[in-house]
Amino acid sequence: MTKTIQAVRGMNDILPDEVHLWQFFEHTVREWLRSYGYREIRMPVLERTELFVRSIGDATDIVEKEMYTFVDELNGESLTLRPEGTASCVRAAVEHNLLYGSAQRLWYGGPMFRHERPQKGRYRQFHQFGVEALGYAGPDIDIEHIVMCARLWRVLGLEGVVLELNSLGSAEARLRYRARLVEYLGQHREALDADSQRRLTTNPLRVLDSKNPAMQALIENAPRLVDDLDEDSARHFEAVQDGLREAGVAYRLNPRLVRGLDYYNRTVFEWTTDRLGAQGTVCAGGRYDGLVEQIGGKPAPACGYAMGVERLLALMQEGPLREAPAPDVYVVRQGEAAERYAQGIAERMRDAGLNVVLHCGGGSFKSQMKKADASGARYAALIGDDEVQAGNLTMKPLRAPRDVSNSGAPQPTAQARVDLAQAVALAAAR
């Protein structure tokens, strides 16, 4: 036998049995975004490598070791599969002058690619929904972003998602802090792991982001950026916290929260859970006032965040199971005339808004009924020579209506010969 070909490691198929959960999630997210006035933007998954190097920063994990980069042999250009969406979104906004004279509330969704070690909640192709507000300077939009996340968790029925908050201040404040941090870390050089030693010169703030348990005490005692914020950032941060208190959104200040991408300043936040093991961050973001200019646009303040779809779905699966959608009717048909007649009946039912699976491939009545049952449909529509002659059909209930307590109408428990309109009424009753 020929050897089977398998998917690339860390890149997952999403199979029909799990797709309904994705669809429910995606639908909910789209409606929620619309309710806040955000508009969708779609960018290519492939960008020039330079875009990510310039925005995310060349001394970050993503750019140093996680990007799928290759040379387009046709023209020698270096291209990269997008590891995140913010850089592309800002590039598109600048390229198409979207910020000319107006601010933009945007969102995008889709696959991202990072060459990481695959494990639960960490994949090489994963999915994000990202939200970006370009051209907004005030703390009001930072507050909106966090408050809207809190609403989404409620709508999705997620529990135990906790907000961590920090401010990275201005670029100048960060430079001052960098010097203090380097001095501190330099005094403890022997306690630094190899990664951190390297970062000491390339990107010292990232040492605070280290996940190495052996480093945690050192990190805990490091000087804190939030103690030395510039005045404007301090005021901005106060206003964000006031807004959150007013909105009743709980948060935990985490002075070690620095985020893994270089473009952030001022507000940064992460939503985390302890229910998913090591991969507990389900959503992260903050302010990136310098990025638009860095990518070549006229300076414009901005902030945004991205959520990891796989991790949020995993969290949803911790909760009560969501019923997979099933067809309303499964059409069972026997005999040559019935085959043709049933085809038309199924179409008329769909005209009436029902979800209908028409049995294909023949087989005995018994085997067709087995399939009807397995489909999860609430009714089987039985069509044989008798029904064709009479111009009607037999409706056989396969399971109880979804919510008996709420349906006033009596539900038939036995099969009944009915006309098309009656059949539709039966199957449409929830």
The residue (of 279 and 294) whose beta carbon lies closer to ligand ATP is 279
* Cα–Cα distance measured from residue 209 to residue 157, given in angstroms and rounded to the nearest whole number: 30
Backbone angles phi, psi at 318, to 5 degrees: -70, -30
Q: Which residues bind ligand ATP (CB under 6 A)?
A: 84, 114, 116, 121-123, 126, 128, 260, 279, 281-284, 306, 308, 310-311
Whether the CA torsion 225, 54, 41, 118 is positive or negative: it is negative
Q: Which of 191, 27, 182, 194 is nearest to 109 (CA)?
A: 27
We find the least distance from the C-beta atom of residue 430 to ligand ATP, in angstroms, to be: 35
Cα end-to-end distance, the chain, whole Å: 49
* Cα–Cα distance measured from residue 28 to residue 328, given in angstroms and rounded to the nearest whole number: 22
The residue (of 84 and 387) whose beta carbon lies closer to ligand ATP is 84
> DSSP class of residue 269?
E
C-beta nearest to ligand ATP: residue: 308
We find the least distance from the C-beta atom of residue 233 to ligand ATP, in angstroms, to be: 21
**Radius of gyration for the chain, computed over Cα atoms and rounded to the nearest angstrom:** 28
We find the least distance from the C-beta atom of residue 327 to ligand ATP, in angstroms, to be: 33
* Cα–Cα distance measured from residue 207 to residue 80, given in angstroms and rounded to the nearest whole number: 26
We find the least distance from the C-beta atom of residue 167 to ligand ATP, in angstroms, to be: 17
The residue (of 132 and 387) whose beta carbon lies closer to ligand ATP is 132
The residue (of 47 and 84) whose beta carbon lies closer to ligand ATP is 84
We find the least distance from the C-beta atom of residue 118 to ligand ATP, in angstroms, to be: 8
The residue (of 18 and 116) whose beta carbon lies closer to ligand ATP is 116
We find the least distance from the C-beta atom of residue 328 to ligand ATP, in angstroms, to be: 36
The residue (of 272 and 368) whose beta carbon lies closer to ligand ATP is 272
- Strand partners of residue 135: none
Burial of 337 (0-12, 13-18, 19+ CB in 10 A): middle
